[in-house]
Structure 1
Amino acid sequence: MAQRVIYRALGGPEVLELEHLEFPAPDADEVQVRVLAVGMNRFDALMRRNHYVIPPVLPSAMGNEAVGTVTAIGSTVNHVALGDRVAILPIVSPIMGTGTYATHATVPARAVVQSIPYLSDVEEAGLWMAALQAWNMVARHQLPSEAWVLITAATSPVGHMALQIAKDLGLRAIGTTRRAEQSESLRISGAAEVIVTRRTGDLVEAVARFTGGKGVELVIDAVGGPLFAECVSATAQGGHIIAYGAQTSPDFKAARIDLPLIALDRRTVTFSELFEVSDNPQRFAAAQTYIRDAVRRRALKPMIDRTFPLDEVQAAHHYLEAGSVTGKVVLCP
């Protein structure tokens, strides 16, 4: 019998539990999948505490990306067949169909694509969310070759992907981390330079040194808080700052930025969320084409931090929230 993770109350990882689930036949535009690996995301943990943009409706399932094999298809589905190994792409937030934190899931057919043969189940489960979000930000602006790009929290899944994509597109990336021991990992992922941020001013000083005082042409920031102001100060005139997270704020809805208006002179600031890509069919298709090709060329490879079995989902969420993750955490039903 199928199982999935749900929570009936808000709180810490201890609210997560497994429930048994029986599936009816899929609707005409649905696909049923036996789940092999599930990518975990930070907003999963935020949701269960009601700290995400969208409040959960209790009881709530979890998960919106996975890799698995097709066990049933609706009458109008013709792009996948029974037994195909497929990826479930994150096209809606925060839950895909019946939820992908599960042994089996029923999801919209448009979320299901053929998997990438060059990757294992675990690797591909750690690919799509991070790669789609990173591509959306790194490739948004037409930057000249060898332009400088600053990527904060670069040890995160999106950060690692952004480093690799920037290098593949001919850009020079600067990755930030709070842990000096991660510097070599970031360089392997594609960072031309690494900044270990220990005190206020470290970032601006280092960026000025690396760029000859000019600043970076693009910032991709997941941290927010006081570091965001430093990112703006480290941006060249005519440059762009894209925020996509707020790791300094426990409650995402409460995240704020505080900047003097003059700091934005001849700079653009944008907040980016993944689903602006999946809501744009042309851009979504372009992202998938690039990601598949980059994986084939070995220019893009997911970094997996750790895997957990599905029945240890509470331990997996404790680990996710501990703040020391390097790469993707994956559940393996």
Structure 2
Amino acid sequence: MPRVIRFHELGGPEVLRIENVVIPAPQPGLVQIRVKALGINRAEALLRSGAYIETAPLPSGLGLEAAGIVEAVGEGVDGFMPGDRVSIIPPISMVQWPAYGELITFPAEFVVRHPPTLSWEAAAAVWMPFLTAYGALIDTAGLSKGDFVAVTAASSSVGLAAIQIANKVGATPIAITRTSVKRKALHDAGAAHVLASQEEDLETKLKAVAGRDGVRVVFDAVAGPIFEPLSAAMSSGGILIEYGGLNQEPTPFPLSAVLGKGLTLRGYLVHEILRDPARLQAAKTFIFEGLASGALEPVISRTFPFEQIVEAHRFLESNEQFGKIVVTV
């Protein structure tokens, strides 16, 4: 029987178990995939610990990204056949469509053929970071040539995708990280400027970099006290897009900056792109073009074998990674 990864109680990485289960043949509209690699995301750690936007019905599977070979297709599925090399875009519900397994079943609309030049590991690391960054920066903020964009949690897979997308459209990416440890790596990854939020006066540095016009777009995964220096350095009419909450401290509302500059503060989840077929198609076109040209390329931090899923989650929560963590199957 195929192996899957599930958890029977909420908690740390140690609650993850590898189990053998029966996987039925795909129903109409579904595609069954023999998995070669999995992309690991912080959302999965949140689900596992009980802090995600979904509630896990125990026991629960998990996982949002995978790449592999089509094993079988259900009735009514067009465009895919056994043997195709495919990857999946993140499902809206990972408890309904979990990706952590040797054999997984997904709706055909969440399955794509990836460029044959991508390795299995790279193919499993594309869709969550690039769809998330595209939806925020291009679809929502309209990032374009000449804009300054500040990217927090810049060494995450989403942060690195945002840097690449900013460069692709001619914007200037300002990477914000906690310390200087990853400064050189971020410059090498395409960041025009790198600021260490725990070591520098963030507001002063941002204003010095962006000049009198300020930072038009902020892409933030952190929240908490960093809201104040970020908003203070923004341009009139700027937009701050919040897609996470890594800092558990209260997040102050920057009233003076919002009123004085007419700022937009907007929450964002990749689900809004996934729910809109036209916007999703535009995103896929943008990403495929970027992958083909080399402007977009997944950054792999470290790979783990399937049997070391607990260690992979521990590494995720260490915050030591630079890019995507991938599990090979």
Instruction: Please indicate the TM-score interval, normalised by the length of the shorter structure.
Output: over 0.9
> Does the CA contact (< 8 Å) of 1:118 and 1:295 recur in 2?
no
1:257 is matched with which residue: 251, 261, 264?
Answer: 251
Closer, same or farther: CA 287–96 of 1 in aligned 2, 3 Å: farther
| TM-score, normalising length: structure 1 | 0.95
Compute the displacement of 1:293 (Å). Answer: 0.6
Counterpart of 2:124, as a letter, is: A
1:123 CA drift (Å): 0.7
**Which residue does the alignment assign to 1:87?**
87
| Secondary structure in structure 1 of the residue aligned to 2:27 | coil
Question: Is structure 2 residue 205 aligned with structure 1 residue 202?
Answer: no
Per-residue CA deviations over 1:248-270 (Å, capped at 9, x if unaligned) read 12xxxxx7521242221210000
**CA drift at 1:117:** 1.3
Q: Residue deviations 1:201-251, cap 9 Å, x none?
A: 6211111111224320000001111112221111111100001011112xx
1:41 matched to 2:33? The reply is no
Letter in 1 for 2:316: L
Change in Cα spacing, 1:80 to 1:96, as seen in structure 2 (3 Å) is farther
Matched position secondary structure for 2:211: coil
| 1:272-302 deviations in Å (ceiling 9; x for gaps) | 1011111011110000011011010000011
- 1:1-333 alignment, distance < 5 Å: 1-95=1-95, 97=97, 99-139=98-138, 140-199=140-199, 202-249=201-248, 256-265=250-259, 266-333=262-329
RMSD: 1.4
> How many angstroms apart in 1 are the aligned matches of 2:177 and 2:254?
26
- 8 Å CA contact 2:70, 2:84 repeated in 1: yes
What is the Cα deviation at residue 163 of structure 1? 0.3
For the residue of structure 2 that corresponds to 1:191, the secondary structure is coil
AA aligned to 1:209 is: A
Rounded to whole Å, the distance in 1 between the matches of 2:160 and 2:243 is 14
The answer (yes or no) to whether the contact 1:216–1:234 under 8 Å persists in 2 is: yes
Of 114-123 and 140-149, more deviation after overlay is shown by: 140-149
Aligned residues: 326
The letter of the residue matching 2:255 is: L
Q: CA deviation at 1:143?
A: 4.3
Instruction: Give deviations 1:85-112, integer Å, cap 9, x for gaps.
Output: 1011113133452x21111111111111
Distance 1:142 1:24, change over 3 A: closer
Mapped contact 2:89–2:111 kept (Cα < 8 A): yes
Deviation string, structure 1 residues 17-54 (Cα, Å, up to 9, x no partner): 01101122110111111000011100101111101122
Please give the alpha-carbon distance, in whole angstroms, between the structure 2 residues aligned to 1:144 and 1:330: 31
Q: Structure 1: give runs of 5+ residues left out of the alignment.
A: 250-254
Task: Give the secondary structure class of the aligned counterpart of 1:160.
Answer: helix
CA contact (8 A) 2:151 2:162 kept: yes
Q: TM-score, normalised by structure 2?
A: 0.96
The answer to whether the Cα contact below 8 Å between 1:137 and 1:220 also exists between their aligned partners in 2 is yes
Separation in structure 2 between the aligned mates of residue 261 and residue 206 of structure 1, nearest angstrom: 21
Bigger shift: 106-115 or 238-247?
106-115
Give the residue type in structure 1 aligned to 2:164: Q
Distance 1:142 1:260 in 2: 23
AA aligned opposite 1:225: G
Q: Is the 8 A contact 2:149 2:174 kept in 1?
A: yes
List runs of 5+ in structure 2 lacking aligned partners: none
Task: Assess if the C-alpha contact under 8 Å between 1:91 and 1:279 holds in 2.
Answer: no
The Cα shift of 1:118 comes to 2.0
Distance 1:26 1:223 in 2: 39
Percent sequence identity is 37
One-letter identity of the residue aligned with 1:315: E
Q: Runs of 4+ in structure 1 displaced over 6 angstroms? A: none
Structure 2 Cα separation of the partners of residues 111 and 63 of structure 1? 13
Could you tell me how far apart the structure 2 residues matched to 1:298 and 1:326 are? 19
Contact 1:12 1:48 in 2 (8 A): yes
Question: 1:324: Cα distance to partner?
Answer: 1.5
Q: Is the 8 A contact 1:96 1:107 kept in 2?
A: no
State the secondary structure of the residue aligned to 1:38: strand
